[in-house]
Amino acid sequence: MHEELREDYYALVHRLSESSRLGGIMGILHWDQEVIMPAGAAESRAQQIGSLAGVLHEKTTHPEMGRLLDRLCQSEENGFNTFEWCNIREAHREFHMATRVSKTLVTELAELSSRAHQIWVKARSENRFSDFAPVLKQLVDLKIKWAGCVFPDMEAYDANIDVYERGSTQKDITPIFDKLKAELIPLIKAIQESDYKPETSFLSGQFPVEKQEALGRKISEEMGFLFDQGRMDVSVHPFCGGSHPTDVRITTRYRTDNFVESLYAVIHETGHGLYEQGRMQDGRDLPVSEALTMAVHESQSLFWERMIAQGKPFCTRYLPLLAETFSHNFKDVTPARFYEAVNVSGPSLIRVEADEVTYPMHVILRYELEKGLFDGSIQVEHLPDLWNAKMKEYLGVEPPTDTLGVLQDTHWSGGAFGYFPSYTLGAIYASQFYQALIRAKPDIEKQIERGNLTPIREWLGTQVHQQGRLLSVPDLVKQVTGENLNPDNFLDYLKNKYRQIYRLN
């Protein structure tokens, strides 16, 4: 390789690393906004985030970045290895996306998203969708404008999906979601009509927050989360953020009358956190080491939450710890009863509290509404009524307030349209990954019963976390599971598990 080309690559790495570190600062600002920022700082924070987004945009679109990438990409005999070429390819994509958008639009979107978050928090607490509707309409309009700049040949909603699920479009997602809808609605109905109802009274009571915190932290540590390179706090909406694999921030929320919601939120966010902490050791400030897509990220959190923590071996292992922590509730509870109780299925109003059978319907509802917002067939002011109608059709429940309906999620306030499909695509990947784990380690359920969770983390580390962006999603899934994205695997898993729990034929 020519020395000049090698120097160009090092210059690119320097620029990418600097942008990554500034992005890390942005991550901490977002975390702070959600966790500890005083409410009165909302306007100044919006301006800070807008300014930093502008600086990052300038760095990403700097003419020298374009010149470097042109020389690196046009060299026919470049001699770059897979790791290096991945950085060049990712930087090239990012550059071309960024140069198609003006700094003004970038700053406007960042500021509006930050401001909209505060408006949403207030509207949600006061059950006033009408207060949120104008800024939501502005966000949709700006995201359509953004899509026209970045991906002029794509439908606006596909362009927004591509940010989270590169390469996926409505043409890929809609048939999968239609299949899930067709098969899950009857399963949900059969579960509701079953004469057998798992006993759950021991999950009700008073659970002191400090005991919940200690329990969540212990299980998170046993899963492998490194608290010297991460922390756990409280936020309105549980999430995983931070600035770097050595600074991963996870959050949960607590209710004194329900410890299950908090505990499983901790397990879920720990799954995300392990992905971030488990990234490849080299190039941690470079695109090559970053998580692949949001669905792959979500597959990791759902793998731990659903496949592992809601499985029989995990329930058997951790029941004694729960009985020790909440002795009044768990005196005579068996592992089988606990397993059934944490896998109770039934329609609920809140997505983040939904079980794994009903959860996909919450996602499909949001996906269909977003499609309508972006193709113009749905107006923002009609969202509450459409939301409630779809909830009734898909889950048989109707939200009594917008706080419990259309205002419940933070995503739209941040302009994160196209994000929701990732949750259910992630659930499908998780079920496929779990089958692959069982094939690779046939004794894994016995290991879980013994409290040995290390083999799971290590297997996910080598198979997924350390792969970074070296492979496309289809190639990664094929490499790990031997097949493509397969909703049948997920549906079989749900049907087998819940027909057994609910004594269905």
Q: Give the 3-state DSSP-derived string for 263-314, with helices as H, strands as E and coil as C.
A: HHHHHHHHHHHHHHHCCCCCCCCCHHHCCCCHHHHHHHHHHHHHHHCCCHHH
Contacts of 12 (CB under 8 A, 6+ apart): 65, 68, 69, 72, 87, 88, 91
Report domain 170-501's class. mainly alpha
Q: In this structure, what are the phi and psi dihedrals at residue 11, rounded to the nearest 5 degrees?
A: -65, -40
φ/ψ of 230, rounded to 5, equals -170, 170
By the 8 A CB rule, do 358 and 395 touch? yes
Alpha helices in 100-253 (DSSP H): 103-126, 129-150, 156-164, 170-193, 209-223
Q: Six-digit token pair at 354?
A: 């939904």
What pLDDT is stored for residue 1 in this prediction?
59
Residue 293 to residue 163: CA distance in whole angstroms: 8
pLDDT recorded at residue 79: 83
Rg of the chain, C-alpha, whole Å: 23
Active site annotation includes 269 = yes
CB 283 within 8 A of CB 82: no
Q: What is the pLDDT of residue 76?
A: 63
b/e per residue 396-433 (b: at least 16 CB within 10 A): eeebeebbbbbbbbbebbbbbbbbbbbbbbbbbbbbbb
Catalytic residue chosen out of the listed positions 108, 165, 269, 305: 269
In sequence order, which residues have a C-beta less than 8 Å from that of residue 96 and are 6 or more positions away?
none
Tokens of 206: 């008073």
**pTM, 2 dp:** 0.92
Residues 6+ apart with CB under 8 A from 51: 107
- Residue stretches of the chain with pLDDT short of 70: 1, 76-77
CA distances from 415 to 125, 363, 433 (A): 20, 16, 30
3-state secondary structure of 29: helix
- Listed by start position, the domains of the chain span 3-153, 170-501
Q: State the Cα–Cα distance between residues 233 and 250, nearest whole angstrom.
A: 6
Q: Would you say 363 and 421 are in contact if contact means Cβ atoms under 8 Å apart?
A: yes
Task: Collect contacts of 369-373 with beta carbons under 8 A, ≥24 apart.
Answer: 370/157, 370/417, 370/418, 370/420, 371/157, 371/170, 373/140, 373/417
Residue 331 has a pLDDT of 86
What confidence score (pLDDT) does residue 216 get? 97
